[in-house]
Every structure is written in structure tokens, then in C-alpha cells.
């Protein structure tokens, strides 16, 4: 009996985690299997975060889009960019609209790097559209995002830097002169 209790408690340790908000979250590591080679995007949270049909959130690897809500990151963005709050929110909303136009209610394919999840439990992925384009790269190419890498997830950093440089030189999106 004690062996079953020990196994059960060990299993619960594997399945339970405390969310950064302090709430306790319990999930079973079995049940629905999801094909990350073809899964539908349920909604777009912001320019660099989406939610899948299975309700998992995905943070796009290697990029960062401007904030759309007040937050500590918004304050850092204001100081770093010397833009005001309204400009950052407007750019964040534009990035969100762009992301929605490409993936909302559409099937995508996820590619993972060295780490599959971030500290908030979100999947970390490169997201591919059905035509083969990578969403992360498209956001950089059109100037809606900037490079934001965290080793060891740096598989495409050189390509991302090239895309950002090109968007900046051509004054697209964030880099447009006002």
C-alpha cells in the first residue's frame, strides 16, 4: 500500500506545478495527443503569442513585438526605444493584427528548438504557415518585431538578424521614420 502511495505522490509531482501567479495547476501527462505538424490557431494573444486549438499558448522564439497592455515590459520598452506609450501600443496592435491575418483560425506547424517550454509553461516554437513561410521570420521581415533571443534557443538567430537589418534599412514597421 505504501508503495502505491509513493508512486502516486511521485506521479503528482510530475503532473502538478505552481503557476507564476501563485495558482496551483494540475494536468495529466496523457490524454489528447496533438499533431504539432498541423494544428489550428484558436486565437492570437498578441504579436508574438498565440493560442492553439488545444488551448496551449505558444511564444514565438527569437522575436519580440511591442506590448499592447501596460506592464513592466512596457515601461522597459518606453525607456529603451524613446517612444511614448501610445506609439508602442499602436505598434503592438499593428503586430497583433499582422499575426492574426496570417494564422488566426488556420493550421500551422510548430518547430521546437533546444527548450520546449518557457518558465510560464508556454510552448516555445518557430511557427510555420501552410505555404512554408515562418511566422517569426515574417514578423521580422515586415518590421513588426525585433530580434529577441535566449540561448540555447538560437537556431535561426543569424537569419533573424539579417531580416531585422533589412527591415530597418527599408524603414518597415517599427523602423519607419515619422
Which regions of the chain does DSSP assign to beta strands (E)? 16-18, 24-26, 39-46, 49-52, 57-60, 63-64, 107-111, 123-128, 146-147
Q: How far apart are the first and last CA of the chain?
A: 71
Residue 25 near residue 18, CB atoms below 8 Å:
yes
Q: Which residues are catalytic, by number?
A: 59, 67, 122
Residue 56 near residue 123, CB atoms below 8 Å:
yes
Does the CA dihedral 134-57-153-78 come out positive or negative?
positive
Number of neighbouring beta carbons within 10 Å of residue 73: 13
Is beta strand 16-18 parallel, antiparallel or unpaired with respect to 63-64?
unpaired
How far is 88 from 48, CA to CA, in rounded Å? 14
Amino acid at each position: 500500500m505504501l508503495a502505491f502511495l509513493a508512486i502516486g505522490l511521485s506521479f503528482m509531482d510530475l503532473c502538478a506545478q505552481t503557476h507564476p501567479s501563485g495558482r496551483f495547476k494540475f494536468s495529466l501527462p496523457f490524454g489528447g495527443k496533438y499533431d504539432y505538424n498541423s494544428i489550428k490557431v484558436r486565437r492570437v494573444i498578441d504579436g508574438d503569442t498565440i493560442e492553439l486549438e488545444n488551448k496551449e499558448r505558444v511564444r514565438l522564439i527569437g522575436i519580440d513585438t511591442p506590448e499592447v497592455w501596460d506592464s513592466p515590459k512596457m515601461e522597459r520598452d518606453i525607456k529603451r526605444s524613446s517612444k511614448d506609450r501610445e506609439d508602442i501600443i499602436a505598434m503592438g496592435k499593428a503586430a497583433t493584427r499582422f499575426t492574426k491575418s496570417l494564422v488566426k483560425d488556420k493550421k500551422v506547424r510548430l518547430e521546437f528548438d533546444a527548450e520546449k517550454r518557457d518558465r510560464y509553461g508556454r510552448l516555445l516554437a518557430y511557427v510555420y504557415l501552410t505555404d512554408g513561410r515562418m511566422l517569426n521570420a515574417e514578423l521580422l521581415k515586415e518590421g513588426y518585431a525585433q530580434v529577441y533571443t535566449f540561448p540555447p534557443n538560437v537556431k535561426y538567430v543569424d537569419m533573424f538578424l539579417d531580416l531585422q537589418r533589412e527591415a530597418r534599412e527599408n524603414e518597415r514597421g517599427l523602423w519607419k521614420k515619422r
